């Protein structure tokens, strides 16, 4: 279990000037925009505007702070007025957003098509999180991990070995590797549990950083 503290995360301005992004975790570690299999980040959105196109990437967006937003994806409008409701859409689609009532913070999961997949669950109270395991045929050789992000209120993680991690808001814990064990998540608010599974390596196109 690796703890990723929110304090000190660098803020990267978007190319369109509409906000900043703070990376939580990426695989492979240190991967750039043209080489990642998956990437999880928090974005501070301060104004309306288009999203940078990310062809070959699937996105899962969850509003975790603020009054929500309106997304228009390839001409179809989707209202996201509530926090903690994950919404998946293709990164290559023409996408724009409109703030409903002031700035928001989005939890973003980006997945390279053909290399990674993920589910995002918002947890209240207690949940036991099982590690991602390889299939019996052993074919999966991409990233496999569970990322827990405290998005509201303090969160605690306890493993079978009684190791305890305490997460403040926007801190995260990454559970990965062949020796990963189940962990109990307890939160006084809301935590995001992101299960990331590999689907094998594959080529990926170059990307432009943005919201």
The answer to whether 129 touches 193, Cβ cutoff 8 Å, is: yes
DSSP string, 64-100: EESS-EEEEETTEEEEE-SSS--EEEETTS-EEEEES
104 and 127 co-located in one domain: no
Q: Tell me the sheet residues that pair with 111.
A: 38, 58
Choosing from 97, 112, 127, the residue where a domain stops is: 112
Give the list of residues 6+ apart from residue 75 with CB closer than 8 angstroms, or none: 94
In a domain, 164, yes or no: yes
For 86-126, the pLDDT digits (tens) are 999 999 999 999 999 999 999 999 999 999 999 999 999 99
Which regions of the chain are under pLDDT 70?
133-143, 161-162, 178-179, 199-211
80 and 151 co-located in one domain: no
pLDDT at 141: 46
Expressed as residue numbers, the domain containing 177 is 116-198
89 and 126 co-located in one domain: no
What CATH number has the domain bearing residue 137? Answer: 2.60.120.10
pLDDT at 135: 54
pLDDT at 78: 95
In a domain, 203, yes or no: no
94 and 108 co-located in one domain: yes
Choosing from 71, 92, 112, the residue where a domain stops is: 112
44 and 128 co-located in one domain: no
In a domain, 204, yes or no: no
100 and 180 co-located in one domain: no
Q: Is 153 exposed, middle or buried (0-12, 13-18, 19+ CB in 10 A)?
A: middle
Give the count of beta carbons closer than 10 Å to the beta carbon of residue 183: 24
65 and 149 co-located in one domain: no
In a domain, 100, yes or no: yes
pLDDT at 143: 59
71 and 146 co-located in one domain: no
d(CA 149, CA 166): 11
User: How many structural domains comprise the chain?
Assistant: 2
For 69-79, the pLDDT digits (tens) are 999 999 999 99
103 and 12 co-located in one domain: yes
pLDDT at 209: 36
Does the pTM surpass 0.95? The reply is no
41 and 141 co-located in one domain: no
pLDDT at 131: 74
d(CA 61, CA 104): 12
Choosing from 85, 112, 139, the residue where a domain stops is: 112
154 and 189 co-located in one domain: yes
In a domain, 191, yes or no: yes
């Amino acid at each position: 279990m690796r703890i990723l503290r929110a304090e000190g995360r660098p803020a990267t301005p978007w190319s369109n000037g509409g906000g900043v992004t703070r990376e939580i975790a990426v695989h492979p570690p240190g991967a750039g925009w043209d080489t990642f299999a998956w990437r999880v980040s928090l974005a501070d959105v301060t104004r309306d505007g288009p999203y940078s196109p990310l062809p070959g990437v699937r996105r899962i967006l969850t509003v975790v702070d603020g009054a929500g937003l309106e997304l228009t994806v390839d001409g179809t409008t989707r209202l996201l007025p509530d926090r903690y409701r994950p919404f998946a859409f293709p990164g290559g689609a023409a996408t724009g957003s409109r703030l409903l009532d002031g700035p928001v913070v989005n939890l973003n999961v980006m997945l390279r098509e053909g290399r990674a997949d993920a589910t995002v669950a918002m947890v209240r109270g207690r949940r036991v999180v099982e590690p991602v395991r390889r299939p019996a045929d052993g074919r999966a050789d991409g990233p496999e991990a569970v990322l827990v992000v405290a998005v509201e209120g303090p969160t605690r993680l306890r493993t079978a070995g009684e190791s305890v991690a305490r997460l403040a808001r926007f801190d995260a814990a990454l559970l990965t590797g062949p020796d990963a064990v189940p962990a109990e998540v307890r939160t006084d608010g809301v935590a995001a549990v992101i299960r990331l599974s590999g689907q094998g390596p594959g080529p990926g196109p170059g990307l432009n950083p943005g919201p």
